[in-house]
């Protein structure tokens, strides 16, 4: 395989990105066509909702959080958030929700610019949530459900879980099973356990490969950065349970393994290695990547990218293993469990500092507000930095302030 070019700084480009762009384009065109023709039926799903069940029942699956991230990354979110605020959705709640609702109210989507002929998000036939990550997703889906007069169903999950027990698994599995009659009615298809086993097996295969991709970053130097990860997780998020996702990671993984074998890092000069906790700042990914690169510092691992690793999937026991996978998720867990997890990541990825993103509108995925950084510093003996910002609302982020504090933090690591 030829040596990949570096971009205008010294970050090495990943060749497989071309294939990923095609997969994402196919995904959106397929959804657009289905929504226009009324077949197959379209289900909206939260990022760790029961996508496997929806695919097994013949739905095409659309993930509004992915659209939220696109609104952030294209820096259009701030054009739309005020429209949602004006109808009563506070500027303090999830800026995925407010920018997505606002964009819909304005009749716009950044998908139009990227994909010719697509003029709106695909109309849902059913909306299926899981509150394992937050209550906001339920409110978000209820708004669109009223708008489209489509049924909104879902799973009300546990939160703050220390150890995932049989009782948790049973509770969630029963709720997933209870979705089946509505899904049969909307799709017109009978539930087929073998189809479900097949999608769970594909999700498992995807997750195993995605985990291997992320774990290449344990090598020194790391062949990949957190910022690359936020892009390459696309198929793991929107195509979980399909052969395309499996094929994509089968293409990406050897490229990274070759870099590891050649000791060829994503950065030309990797001096420091950090862990990122919390949401990305979507509108500033490039600037952040360039800043860290200029400081010879690689953010090698993150809670965010790891959130699409689901070790528990088991095609032999589809409902219960889905329930376990959705409940073992980092965001669902107690601080004690989260701290043990971060400790294992710090060791595995040989990081010497932790960056916590305090994302103004997502308390659910900001872990620095109840003493966790201080406890981890004491436990692991490594420093931390809190960066204040937001996933989508750039009014909550000061680039100057973040840059100054990141530079000072790396200086501290130098010393």
Q: Least distance to ligand SF4 from the beta carbon of 366, Å?
A: 8
Nearest distance from residue 101's CB to ligand SF4, in Å? 12
Q: Which of 96, 210, 319, 409 binds ligand SF4 (CB under 6 A)?
A: 96
Pairing of strands 126-130, 152-155: parallel
Return the half-sphere exposure (C-beta side, CA atoms, 13 A cut-off) of residue 33.
7
Residues 237-296 that bind ligand SF4 (CB under 6 A): 279
CA distances from 194 to 198, 201, 327, 361 (A): 6, 10, 23, 41
Q: Which stretch binds ligand SF4 (CB under 6 A): 2-10, 101-109, 128-136, 236-244?
A: 128-136
**Out of 252, 266, 305, 362, which residue is the one contacting ligand SF4 (CB under 6 A)?**
362
| Closer residue to ligand SF4, CB minimum distance, 227 or 409 | 227
Q: Is 391 in the site for ligand SF4 (CB under 6 A)?
A: yes
Integer CA distances (angstroms), 42 to 55, 105, 300, 336, in order: 10, 20, 36, 39
296 secondary structure, DSSP code: T
| Between 20 and 332, CB nearer to ligand SF4 | 332
Task: Give Cβ neighbours of residue 135 (< 8 Å, ≥ 6 apart).
Answer: none
Which position among 53, 61, 84, 134 is part of the footprint of ligand SF4 (CB under 6 A)? 134
- Supply the angle between the helices 193-215 and 243-261 in degrees, to the nearest 10: 20
Alpha-carbon gap, residue 395 to 407, rounded angstroms: 22
Task: Give all strands (DSSP E) within 164-302, no chain letters.
Answer: 272-277, 297-302
What angle do the packed helices 335-348 and 372-380 form, to 10 degrees?
A: 40
Q: Phi first, then psi: what are they for 163, rounded to 5°?
A: -110, 135
Q: 136 vs 328, which CB is nearer to ligand SF4?
A: 136
Instruction: Dig out the tokens for 236 from the structure.
Output: 């793991």
Q: Coil, strand or helix: which one is 122?
A: coil
365 binds ligand SF4 (CB under 6 A): yes
Number of residues that bind ligand SF4 (CB under 6 A): 12
If one asks whether residue 77 binds ligand SF4 (CB under 6 A), the answer comes out as no
CB nearer to ligand SF4: pick between 260 and 332: 332
The helix (run of H) or strand (run of E) holding residue 44 is: strand 42-45
Question: Which CB sits closer to ligand SF4, 131 or 293?
Answer: 131
Shortest distance, position 47 Cβ to ligand SF4, whole Å = 7
* Binder among 35, 71, 94, 118 for ligand SF4 (CB under 6 A): 94
Site membership for ligand SF4, residue 329 (CB under 6 A): no
What CA–CA distances, in Å, run from 398 to 228, 229, 342? 23, 24, 27
Taking the least distance from each CB to ligand SF4, the nearer of 7 and 92 is: 92
Of positions 52, 100, 125, 136, contacts ligand SF4 by CB under 6 A: 136
Using the contact rule CB under 6 A, the part of the chain among 131-139, 154-162, 174-182, 296-304 near ligand SF4 is: 131-139
Answer yes or no whether residue 65 interacts with ligand SF4 by CB under 6 A: yes
Tokens of 117: 């002929």
Is 125 a residue that touches ligand SF4 (CB under 6 A)?
Answer: no
Asked if 101 interacts with ligand SF4 (CB under 6 A), we say: no
Containing H/E element for 127? strand 126-130
Residue ranges that bind ligand SF4, judged by CB under 6 A:
65, 94, 96, 133-134, 136-137, 279, 362, 364-365, 391
């Amino acid at each position: 395989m030829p040596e990949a070019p570096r971009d205008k700084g010294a970050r090495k480009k990943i060749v497989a990105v071309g294939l990923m762009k095609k997969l994402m384009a196919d995904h959106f065109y397929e959804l657009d066509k289905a929504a226009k023709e009324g077949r197959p039926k379209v289900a909206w799903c939260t990022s760790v909702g029961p996508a496997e069940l929806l695919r097994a029942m013949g739905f095409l699956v659309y993930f509004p959080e992915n659209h939220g991230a696109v609104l952030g990354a294209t820096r259009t979110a701030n054009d739309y958030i005020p429209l949602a605020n004006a109808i009563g959705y506070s500027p303090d709640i999830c800026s995925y929700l407010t920018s997505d609702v606002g964009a819909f109210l304005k009749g716009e989507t950044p998908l139009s610019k990227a994909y010719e002929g697509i003029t709106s998000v695909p109309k849902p036939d059913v909306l299926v949530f899981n509150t394992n990550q937050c209550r906001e997703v339920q409110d978000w889906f209820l708004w669109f459900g009223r708008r489209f007069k489509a049924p909104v169903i879902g799973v009300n999950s546990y939160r703050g879980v220390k150890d995932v027990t049989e009782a948790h698994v049973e509770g969630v599995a029963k709720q997933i099973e209870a979705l089946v009659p509505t899904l049969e009615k909307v799709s017109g298809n009978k539930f087929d356990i073998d189809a479900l086993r097949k999608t769970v097996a594909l999700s498992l295969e995807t997750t195993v490969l995605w985990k291997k991709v992320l774990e290449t970053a344990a090598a020194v130097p790391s062949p990949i950065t957190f910022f690359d990860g936020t892009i390459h997780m696309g198929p793991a998020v929107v195509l979980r349970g399909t052969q395309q996702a499996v094929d994509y990671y089968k293409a990406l993984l050897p490229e990274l393994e070759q870099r590891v074998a050649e000791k060829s890092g994503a950065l030309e000069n990797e001096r420091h290695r950090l862990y990122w906790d919390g949401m990305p700042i979507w509108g500033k990914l490039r600037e952040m990547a360039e800043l860290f690169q200029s400081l010879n510092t690689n953010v090698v691992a993150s809670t965010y990218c790891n959130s699409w690793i689901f070790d528990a999937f088991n095609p032999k026991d589809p409902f219960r293993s889905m329930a376990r996978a959705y409940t073992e998720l980092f965001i669902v867990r107690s601080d004690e469990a989260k701290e043990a997890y971060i400790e294992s990541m710090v060791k595995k990825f040989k990081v010497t500092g932790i960056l916590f993103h305090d994302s103004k509108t997502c308390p659910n995925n900001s872990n620095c507000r109840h003493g966790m950084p201080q406890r981890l510093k004491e436990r692991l003996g490594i420093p931390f930095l809190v960066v204040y910002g937001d996933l989508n609302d750039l009014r909550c982020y000061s680039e100057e302030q973040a840059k100054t504090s990141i530079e000072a933090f790396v200086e501290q690591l130098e010393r």
